[in-house]
Structure 1
Amino acid sequence: MNDEFEYYLMERSNNQNYPLLKEDGTCNYQHVKTHIENPYMTKYSYKNPVPRRVQTADYYAMPFSIVSDKIYDVLAAMNLKKVQLIPVIVTGRENELYDRHWYIHIYNRLKAMDIKKSKCNWIESIQIANPIEKLVLNREYLNTIPLKDRLVFRLIENSTKQIYHASVAEAIMATNPVGVRFIKLQTNAQNIDVYNTKRVFAV
């Protein structure tokens, strides 16, 4: 059984053959904080420099997340709170089109970072942590929110950090996706450094 407070960061695998993506400028949904009604089909392409031996993946970072059907099927079945899966088209190096991809629009935003126990540059004027060297989640705050409402969320303190509960991370990794890894976070009741933990799911 998963720990109610076991969380992971979703990141690109440590393999330079997986390309980064860039949005073509038609629809920038990255900073929208609400549900998007009737979203346009957004287009993405490989960001330069494109790897010489480029490999397609089930997960792309940009820094937000684009996923294939394999991961989409897992997330869609969970009916996650304030998580919207928006169809996108990815254009490859030779202008080939990959249309079975999805942007994970996470507008479930929680102020869940323990600033005192994290190692970060805290910008008081705008209440943002950037950069973050070590991220510690606030267990007491999370305990005030039902687990079903915090299975996937973004940090208010740094919206590039997408947080996944262990049950979601394990369900995704059970499909053997390509190009994604989950790095374990700590809560303030544990003693785990997020960037040095032994528990990493990676493919």
Structure 2
Amino acid sequence: MKYDSDYYFLRESGNSFSYMLEQKRTSDQGLRHLMSIRSIKHRVLGPGVVEIIEGNPDLFTPSDYHETAEQLVSEKFMQVLQGFNLPGVDFYQTNIVSGSKTWTEHYYMHIWHHHRAIHKGRSKIDGTYIDDDFILESLSLDGNVLDKIPLEERLVFRLEEDPTFLFHETVVQALREANLTGLSFQRVDEWSIGSAFE
């Protein structure tokens, strides 16, 4: 349980929460693999393209963070993370389009560095750990796994068992200090599946 207060989920908030964005068909085909737990650099040859599918497009201005099926971040957000020299975190330039307007300073964030770090005794799931066929209801991290991984290799990572991305408190602090818009954080030990709707 010692790591449950050190790691955070990233969530949409504020103005970002008022819109739903989705990747367009004109987006580079390689970006269809953003949920992969390996690098996709060899697949991506061009920019991504995202459009607003819900919310008033006339009032839209981009935030520093938007959840699509993946995670879309601003250049400012990207620069904060690049300062940590994170393994297994890549960024792909992505345009946000709304009618005749185009914003070019956003990036899909692909977090493919992963660790099998769910503590099966303390976490709650709906389903089975066999073939990772479950919905995560509450999370506790396995200290025996994370103890063996140097901090710089687990500052930001994806759970191998579940498409959940975790941010260490040092990264969260840097993001908070950057005064970014459209995002909030929730500590692992305060999160449950129901809290996603609060």
Compute the TM-score of the two structures, normalised by the length of structure 1: 0.81
Query: Where does residue 9 of structure 2 map in the other structure?
Result: 9
Query: Where does residue 77 of structure 2 map in the other structure?
Result: 71
Residue 107 (1) aligns with residue 123 (2): no
Alignment of 1:22-101 (within 5 A): 22-25=22-25, 26=27, 27=29, 28-37=32-41, 39=44, 40-47=46-53, 49-51=54-56, 54-92=60-98, 94-101=99-106
Give, in whole Å, the separation in 1 of the partners of 2:56 and 2:192: 25
Question: How big is each residue's C-alpha offset from its partner over 1:15-72, in whole Å with a ceiling of 9 and x where there is no partner?
Answer: 575312111134213233322235221111112x324754531100013210011101
Letter in 2 for 1:22: E
Query: Where does residue 182 of structure 2 map in the other structure?
Result: 179
CA contact (8 A) 1:5 1:139 kept: no
Structure whose residues are more often helix by fraction: 2
Letter in 2 for 1:8: Y
2:146 maps to which of 114, 135, 142: 142
Letter in 1 for 2:191: V
Corresponding residue SS for 1:10: strand
Q: CA 1:6–1:99 in structure 2 vs 1: closer, same or farther (change >3 Å)? A: same
Letter in 1 for 2:12: R
Query: Where does residue 152 of structure 1 map in the other structure?
Result: 156
Corresponding residue SS for 2:18: coil
Which region of structure 1 is more displaced relative to structure 2, 4-13 or 106-115? 4-13
Query: Where does residue 162 of structure 1 map in the other structure?
Result: 165
Letter in 2 for 1:168: V
1:14: Cα distance to partner? 5.5
Corresponding residue SS for 1:172: helix
Letter in 2 for 1:88: T
CA RMSD for the aligned pairs? 2.3
Q: Which runs of 5+ in 2 are unaligned?
A: 194-198
What percent identity do the matched residue pairs reach? 23
Q: CA 1:5–1:145 in structure 2 vs 1: closer, same or farther (change >3 Å)? A: farther
Which region of structure 1 is more displaced relative to structure 2, 119-128 or 65-74? 119-128
Corresponding residue SS for 1:70: helix
CA contact (8 A) 1:19 1:55 kept: no
Q: CA 1:37–1:17 in structure 2 vs 1: closer, same or farther (change >3 Å)? A: closer
Letter in 1 for 2:145: Y
